[in-house]
Copies of this chain bind each other. A is one copy, B any other.
Amino acid sequence: MFLNQTSQYALRAMAGLIVADQNGPMKSKDLAQTTEIPSHYLSKIMRKMVEAGFVESKKGHGGGFILKKPLEQIRIIDVLNAAGFDMDEQPCVFGWDQCSDCNPCPLHPVWKRLKESFNEWAFNTTMEDIRKENRLLIDMKFSQKS
């Protein structure tokens, strides 16, 4: 796929967390179950979300993960960056790293448009938008190919 597995998981995990919307913290194990992400691997990803300041983690009895920031302040692009993904680092269609506006590969224009659209979307969409339209991203757990 386009995003790597890890960043896709990150999006899904965050989406899963906000849609759950329970009163207390959500356990990693439960989140893993609803999102269908391998639980130990999810833990690692959630650690990154904690470090980025999106969620808080509580150890011990009754612990788990809980949102720390208002949803409107968590942009998709931030989640992706926290997971280590950066669209601008993605090489062009041909993997040609010289590809640029002055020295374009045959598909440079389309590629550029895709990147721009992606970035614009990721920048302007927050987790609040995701919550409102809860079809998005949650359903992504049905995806298969890597």
Contact = CB atoms under 8 A, between A and B. Distances in A.
A76 to B, nearest CB: 9
Nearest to A94: B140
Contacts of A125: 106
Interface string A107-146: 1001101100110010001000000000011011011111
Q: How many copies does the complex hold?
A: 2
- Please classify how large the interface on chain A is, using the bins under 10, 10 to 19, 20 to 34, 35 or more: 35 or more
Contacts of A140: 94-96, 105
A97 B3 CA distance: 13
A47 to B, nearest CB: 22
A92 interface: yes
Interface of A: 1-3, 5, 8, 11, 90-98, 105-107, 110-111, 113-114, 117-118, 121, 125, 136-137, 139-140, 142-146
Give 3 nearest A-B pairs by CB, closest first.
A1-B95, A110-B117, A1-B91
19 contacts: A1-B91, A1-B95, A2-B94, A3-B93, A8-B94, A8-B95, A11-B94, A94-B143, A95-B143, A96-B139, A97-B144, A105-B136, A106-B125, A106-B136, A107-B118, A110-B113, A110-B117, A110-B118, A114-B114
